[in-house]
């Protein structure tokens, strides 16, 4: 991130949201809302004086609410740019018009309470989507406590706790009483591979991060014991299988093949009820801490973004690639590319690889002055067009626009967007729209050809 923020050819717009996208490949018009940071980025030196003096403490989103942050804050230590932002929902200046300490202590005079959201218009040729994912809300699992037990956490919570600069300073503790956890149970596939309560797909990343976490837990607390309840260990990647074996052999992680049926409390412990299908025995673990590997799901606003960009998405809300094998990083809409887990759950190596591929595909768009497209696309005979624009409504790609020809509003197909699906041709009442190569005359000719009396000489 730091590298890209310093690159002359990269303009990084942080704390910004894409509001609207119009246009097509090579000619996208993007409206971006640069949200008011309340800190002047050109003046701020990142000294952190304001953060230290801020009196308001709020639960930290980045730390999964295990720790606190100030109302003026930098989300996490490595965040780029190293400039704080004021959380206007909690800052006393904005909620009660009091305080204002940050402005007083800032040596660079960078605090600006008056700052407004800014709308930026950009013309871009290609768009790469890397909007990431969310985690499944596991509280639907009543049998796992439905969120009632503080010591039932997710892998992301544990990740924050294992971070030495995290909310617990790298200590692995029970959120309920702050005691060190000694017996830790990991539950795989919480919301994944579960058609009843979750998602039918495999979230792909959990097996590996759980193995990593068990190794880290053993490193942090040598007399701890981790158990992993799993359905299958999916370690399909370079050196992945070896890594899981390392967790089992060197770190003594006990893998138990079977889904956990129930988690309940007994005293200050959590009883994890499961079974080991390999031995055919029911097992129980008295755990200090239970870590759930929750499913990877699309962002809540993924579909909204897809509709704004006119790109297809699947039944879950993951963006669909143009071809699962041959065009894995292209969306069906030309000029829009996909990478990372907004497309389907991906681990870091896969995300890095698809990002490189998407970037190169986007550059390929710019490598030529002209765009090469499939010839089988729709065209409008504007003399026949009555200007009803039914075609415009049925076009899934928003390829049809209206234009004035000889004082009459008629339809026109934007060739670089059209995919030749034929919806418009089928809808047109005046038969003004045809897909090249599939006009009515051509199709009739094909049907009639076998019934022709005279022999056609084939050259």
Q: Where do contacts with other proteins occur on this chain (CB under 8 A)?
A: 182-183, 223-225, 227, 245, 248-249, 252, 254, 256-257, 273, 275-276, 278-286
Rg of the chain over Cα atoms, rounded to whole angstroms, equals: 29
Instruction: Compute the least distance from the CB of residue 286 to other proteins, in Å.
Output: 7
- Between residues 158 and 305, which has the closer beta carbon with respect to other proteins? 158
Q: Which is nearer to other proteins, 73 or 230 (CB)?
A: 230
Q: How far, in Å, CA of 337 to CA of 358, rounded?
A: 6
- 229 or 337, CB closer to other proteins? 229
Nearer of residues 35 and 259 to other proteins, judged by Cβ: 259
Q: Least distance from C-beta 327 to other proteins, angstroms?
A: 37
Q: What length does the chain have?
A: 459
Q: How far is the CB of 110 from other proteins (least distance, A)?
A: 52
Cβ-based nearer residue to other proteins, 222 or 375: 222
Cβ atoms of 290 and 190 closer than 8 Å:
no
Q: Provide the minimum distance between the beta carbon of 259 and other proteins in the complex, in angstroms, as a whole number.
A: 15
DSSP-assigned beta bridge partners for residue 406: none
Residue 421 near residue 28 (C-beta atoms within 8 A) = no
Residue 180: φ, ψ to 5°? -65, 135
The candidate with the shortest Cα–Cα distance to 293, out of 178, 199, 222, is: 199
**Cβ proximity of 414 and 400 under 8 Å:** yes
Pick the closer one to other proteins by CB: 76 or 264: 264
The nearer residue to other proteins, 282 or 408, going by C-beta atoms, is 282
DSSP letter string over 242-302? Answer: HHHHHHHHTS-PEEEES---EEEEETTEEEEEEEETTTTEEEEEEESEEEEEEPEEE-TTH
Say if CB 226 and CB 253 are below 8 A apart.
yes
Is the Cβ of residue 113 or residue 240 nearer to other proteins in the bound state? Answer: 240
Give the nearest distance from C-beta 149 to other proteins in angstroms: 19
Q: Please, are residues 310 and 397 in contact by the beta-carbon 8 Å criterion?
A: yes
Q: Which is nearer to other proteins, 116 or 245 (CB)?
A: 245
Q: Which run of H or of E encompasses 147?
A: none
Nearest approach in angstroms of CB 3 to other proteins is 41
Alpha carbon of residue 9 to chain centroid: 25
Q: Which residues pair with residue 331 across a beta bridge?
A: 321
* CA atoms of 396 and 417, how far apart (whole Å): 10
What kind and span of H or E run contains 21?
Answer: strand 16-24
| Partner residues linked to 68 by β-bridges | 59
> β-pairing, 68-70 with 57-59?
antiparallel
Phi/psi for 167 (5° steps) reads -65, -25
Task: For residue 63, give the 3-state DSSP assignment.
Answer: coil
Give whichever of 52 and 279 is closer to other proteins, judged by the CB atom.
Answer: 279
């Amino acid at each position: 991130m730091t590298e890209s923020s310093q690159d002359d050819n990269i303009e990084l717009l942080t704390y910004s949201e894409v509001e609207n996208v119009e246009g097509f490949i090579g000619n996208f018009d993007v409206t971006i809302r640069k949200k008011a940071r309340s800190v002047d980025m050109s003046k701020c030196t990142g000294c952190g004086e304001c953060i230290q003096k801020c009196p308001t403490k709020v639960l930290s989103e980045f730390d999964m609410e295990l720790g606190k942050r100030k109302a003026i804050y930098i989300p996490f230590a490595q965040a780029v740019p190293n400039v704080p932002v004021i959380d206007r929902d909690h800052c006393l200046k904005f909620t009660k018009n009091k305080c204002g300490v940050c402005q007083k202590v800032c040596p660079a005079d960078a605090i600006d309470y008056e700052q407004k959201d800014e709308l930026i218009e950009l013309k871009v040729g290609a768009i790469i989507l890397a909007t990431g994912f969310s985690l499944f809300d596991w509280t639907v699992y009543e049998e796992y406590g439905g969120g009632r037990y503080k010591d039932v956490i997710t892998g992301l919570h544990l990740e924050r706790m294992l971070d030495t600069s995290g909310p617990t300073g790298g200590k692995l503790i029970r959120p309920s009483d702050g005691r060190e956890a000694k017996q830790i149970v990991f539950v795989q596939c919480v919301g994944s591979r579960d058609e009843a309560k979750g998602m039918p797909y495999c979230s792909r990343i959990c097996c590996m991060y759980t193995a990593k976490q068990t190794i880290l837990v053993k490193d942090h607390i040598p007399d701890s014991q981790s158990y992993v309840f799993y359905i299958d260990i999916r370690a399909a990647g370079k050196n992945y299988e070896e890594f899981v074996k390392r967790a089992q052999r060197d770190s003594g992680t006990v893998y138990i093949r079977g889904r956990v049926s129930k988690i309940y409390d007994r005293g200050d412990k959590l009883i994890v009820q499961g079974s080991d299908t390999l031995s055919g025995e029911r097992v129980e673990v008295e755990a200090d801490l239970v870590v759930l590997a929750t499913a990877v799901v699309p962002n809540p606003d993924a579909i909204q973004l897809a509709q704004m960009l006119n790109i297809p998405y699947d039944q879950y809300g993951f963006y669909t690639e143009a071809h699962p094998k041959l065009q894995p990083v292209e969306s069906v809409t030309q000029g829009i590319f996909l990478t990372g887990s907004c497309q389907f759950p991906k681990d870091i190596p896969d995300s890095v690889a698809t990002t490189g591929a998407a970037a190169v595909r986007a550059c390929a768009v710019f490598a030529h002055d002209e765009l090469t497209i499939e010839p089988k696309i729709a065209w409008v005979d504007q003399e026949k067009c009555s200007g009803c624009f039914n075609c415009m409504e049925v076009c899934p790609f928003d390829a049809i626009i209206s234009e004035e020809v000889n004082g009459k509003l008629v339809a026109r197909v934007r060739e670089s967007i059209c995919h030749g699906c034929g919806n418009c041709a089928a809808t047109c009442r005046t038969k003004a729209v045809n897909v090249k190569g599939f006009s009515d005359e051509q199709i009739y000719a094909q049907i009639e050809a076998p019934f022709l009396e005279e022999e056609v000489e084939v050259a």
